[in-house]
Chain A
Amino acid sequence: MLKNRIIPCLDVKNGRVVKGINFVDLKDAGDPVEQAKIYSDGGADEICFLDITASNENRDTIYDVVEKTSKKCFVPLTVGGGVRSIDDINKLLNCGADKVSINTAAVQNSKVVEDSSRKFGSQCIVVAIDAKRKDDGWEIFTHGGRNPTGINALEFASKMEKSGAGELLVTSMDKDGTQSGYDIELMQKISSMVNIPVIASGGVGTLDHLVDGIKSGASAVLAASIFHYGTYSVNEAKEYLASKDIPVRI
């Protein structure tokens, strides 16, 4: 039976972790490679790096991080943040990323998704959707949630599936950072509408939130803070999900 995935996410800036595991005994708490290794040894089903480096001159730091991580972690590695072109995707994959998540570029030009999924295979193209409630629906935002687009999230999700995305990483901007749980309605709506896997993101504060995320129809749940602040380990989360009869890999 296919298991539901738990994916810890590390925010990386200028090659350093800014939101990761906050362990006191880490030699170098800011080293993404070391943190990714702790996660993969601790049962993470995949690892996600979100590069939030703002300045262009430091963008290359992520390539070095991905290259080092892929030599130590043998679970799938997804990298997102600032991916603009086929060239960026190619470079990340060559450094050892298994999947690349695309946000702003996919909104601006869906051809990037079409071309990259044809070139590299749908399996490595994840489209990241940042959605915020508006009126009766959800609107998507780009540039790390800064720019509104006026585009309906459900319509966009469907379009991305047709364009060749292998998975959708759906983040609720209303919930992100609140630790009050995923936007369940959003996850339900999108996962019942598309036939590709959905990864739920934004808002996890407790283990029950992970349970709710999977029950909403998502194939995988992504979380940063609950693992970052050491509230729970990935394994504890998995044990809890298993106790609620949710199939996970233990």
Chain B
Amino acid sequence: MDVTILDYKSGNISSVINSFKEVAKDKVNIEVTSDLNKIKSSDKVVLPGQGSFKSCIDGLNSITGMIDTLSEFALNNKKPLLGICVGLQMFADVGYEEVETKGLGWISGKVSKIDNKDGKYKLPHIGWNQINIVKDSKIFKGIENNSHMYFVHSYEFIPNDKSVTAATTDYASKIVCAVEKENIFGTQFHPEKSDKTGLKVIDNFINL
């Protein structure tokens, strides 16, 4: 099996690569690439994302044919895709970081700044927070409710259809921190930095 980690020059993906390689061992081939043909022939795709919503979308747009290839992979061929952090956020129709930016539109909704309740809550939301699993998602197999995951973000994804929400976390309000819509998965937290529980999420995705 081939799992492709998308390298579109948006932020630091070494930790994602290291964690997937750790979990995959020799059983699964982990490719790190922006080559469209390799993505097409891959079994699974990981879409990481760091920096701003706009910079990530710009990053995808800078590679001709990338968004079409990803859409075909996830929407037409319905192959498993995992978005991490801004990777998840880009599923939305629109993001409001820096300037209003059109998202991939795969899961209807928007990405807005977390309401910090007049400075009562610090932003970014950095550190270990517990997840409240609200849907029996395949990527949470064997993971207990209220497990700790590592977060770093100031913006949150607000889906229109709440049924895509797989988990929430409490910070200023209930923040959607994992989604599952058919073959499309996303985590706002960083499984690659969430120690053994995070590696389990990665393992679940690889073994889908």
Binding site for B on A (CB under 8 A): 1-5, 40, 45, 70-71, 74-76, 93-98, 119-124, 166-167, 195-197, 219-220, 249
| Given known contacts A74-B193, A120-B50, A121-B11, A96 and B18 CB-to-CB distance under 8 angstroms | yes
Cα distance A219–B129 in the bound complex, in angstroms: 13
Q: Taking the nearest CB of chain B, how far is it from the CB of A199, in angstroms?
A: 10
- Report if B34 contacts A (CB, 8 A): no
Inter-chain contact B51/A121, CB cutoff 8 Å: yes
Inter-chain contact B50/A3, CB cutoff 8 Å: no
Inter-chain contact B127/A2, CB cutoff 8 Å: yes
Of B64-72, B118-126, B180-188, the stretch lying at the interface with chain A is: B118-126
Cα distance A125–B178 in the bound complex, in angstroms: 25
Cα distance A85–B115 in the bound complex, in angstroms: 33
- Report if B128 contacts A (CB, 8 A): yes
Inter-chain contact B122/A197, CB cutoff 8 Å: yes
- Report if B40 contacts A (CB, 8 A): no
Add 8 more A-B contacts to A74-B194, A97-B12 (CB < 8 A): A71-B22, A94-B12, A98-B193, A121-B51, A121-B52, A124-B12, A197-B124, A249-B128
Inter-chain contact B124/A196, CB cutoff 8 Å: yes
Q: Taking the nearest CB of chain B, how far is it from the CB of A121, in angstroms?
A: 4
Of B87-95, B103-111, B146-154, the stretch lying at the interface with chain A is: B146-154
| Given known contacts A70-B15, A195-B119, A249 and B50 CB-to-CB distance under 8 angstroms | no
Cα distance A157–B164 in the bound complex, in angstroms: 40
Contact with A along B1-44 (1 / 0, CB 8 A): 00000000001101100110110000000000000000000000
Contact with A along B44-60 (1 / 0, CB 8 A): 00000011100000000
Q: Report how many A-B pairs have Cβ atoms within 8 Å.
A: 96
- Report if B130 contacts A (CB, 8 A): yes
8 contacts between A and B (CB under 8 A): A74-B193, A74-B196, A93-B12, A94-B12, A119-B51, A121-B52, A122-B154, A167-B124
Contact with A along B132-157 (1 / 0, CB 8 A): 00000000000000001011111000
| Given known contacts A123-B152, A195-B119, A2 and B22 CB-to-CB distance under 8 angstroms | no
Cα distance A1–B150 in the bound complex, in angstroms: 12
Other-chain residue from A120, A196, A197 in contact with B12 (beta carbon distance below 8 A): A120
9 cross-chain pairs, A with B, having the tightest CB-CB distances, nearest first: A121-B51, A93-B12, A123-B152, A249-B128, A96-B14, A249-B148, A3-B128, A2-B129, A121-B50
Cα distance A40–B198 in the bound complex, in angstroms: 13
- Report if B199 contacts A (CB, 8 A): yes
Inter-chain contact B12/A2, CB cutoff 8 Å: no
Inter-chain contact B148/A94, CB cutoff 8 Å: no
Inter-chain contact A123/B195, CB cutoff 8 Å: no
Q: Taking the nearest CB of chain B, how far is it from the CB of A96, in angstroms?
A: 4
Q: Taking the nearest CB of chain B, how far is it from the CB of A117, in angstroms?
A: 9
Q: Which B residues are CB-close (under 8 A) to A96?
A: 14-15, 18
